[in-house]
Chains A and B, each alone.
Chain A
Amino acid sequence: MNKDEYQKLVKKYEPKENKFQNVIYAFLIGGLVGFIAEGIIVLLMNFFDLSRLDAGAWTCLIIIFTASLFTALGFFDNWMTKSKAGLLIPTTGFAHSVTSSALDYKKEGLITGLGSNFFKLAGSVILYGILSAFILVIVRVIIGG
């Protein structure tokens, strides 16, 4: 068997990753999260007489609470893998990363384990979020006067 034939054979048995299907999955699940979030906002506005801004903040908390709880209960990891980016891009991804790193490193101690690894994954979101916002505000101030 020469090299070309071997490559063909390898390609034949390689697990095919269906990129199109992944994107559709991410779209549908991400869309569903957005849809549910809007639903919770409308419910809170109607039942508790909240302003849209307050209802949005409560909804954010509810989403984070749910994602953290599901992660701690153990089945959210599975959902994250199955839903592709559908649960990663919403705030659920942030909450999941904080809770899972807190859980994983708890056994190494409260300070050296849980404490110092708490923001292991979410740290870059906070760092680059703050950095980019700071630079853009400075640019805006210089341009806009």
Chain B
Amino acid sequence: MTFIWAFLIAGTFCAIGQMILDNTKLTPGHVTSLFTVLGSILAFFGIYDKLIDLAGGGATSIISNFGYMLYTAALEGYENMGILGVFSEMLTKSSTAIVGSIIFAAIFALIFKPKD
């Protein structure tokens, strides 16, 4: 059942993104930023937790999960050590994605030549 929800939820997010791209003048850069912010807003209202319970990888593989991880990590940081925790722990969960993309992008950019 998780597999079906993974397909439906990831698909729905992408379909909404495509509708925004087709019907407004926003660029892909706008849309990805918008979905990241949407992720932290959904996390704020406790909706994203439910999406992850329901869809598993379908919810954690989209860019909104980045906003969700930032929000939840910052909130946990606040609970652990107050306002300083918001600053020191916000990136703990999303570190995997950020460091991963930096390392892989840097290595591949150095090895490969751009094709046009």
Contact = CB atoms under 8 A, between A and B. Distances in A.
Q: What class of interface size applies to chain A in its complex with B?
A: 35 or more
Contacts of A136: 40-41, 43-44, 71
Contacts of B61: 33-34, 37, 59-60, 63, 90-91
Contacts of B63: 89-91, 93-94, 125
B15 A23 contact: yes
A88 interface: yes
A96 to B, nearest CB: 9
A86 B14 contact: yes
A131 to B, nearest CB: 8
B12 A27 contact: yes
B3 A35 contact: yes
Given A27-B12, A136-B41, A140-B44, A60 B31 contact: no
Given A68-B108, A129-B40, A34 B62 contact: yes
Q: How large is the interface on B (under 10, 10 to 19, 20 to 34, 35 or more residues)?
A: 35 or more
Contacts of A95: 101, 104-105
Given A23-B18, A59-B60, A71-B108, A33 B32 contact: no
A26 B100 contact: no
Given A31-B11, A89-B14, A99-B108, A37 B58 contact: yes
Interface of A: 17, 19, 22-41, 52, 56-57, 59-61, 63-65, 68-69, 71-74, 84-86, 88-91, 93-95, 97-99, 102-104, 106-107, 114, 118, 121-122, 124-130, 132-134, 136-141
Interface in B41-71: 41, 43-44, 55-67, 70-71
7 nearest CB pairs, A to B: A34-B10, A30-B14, A31-B11, A34-B58, A38-B57, A37-B57, A102-B109
A96 B44 CA distance: 28
B25 to A, nearest CB: 14
A33 B111 CA distance: 27
Contacts of B18: 22-23, 25-27, 84-86
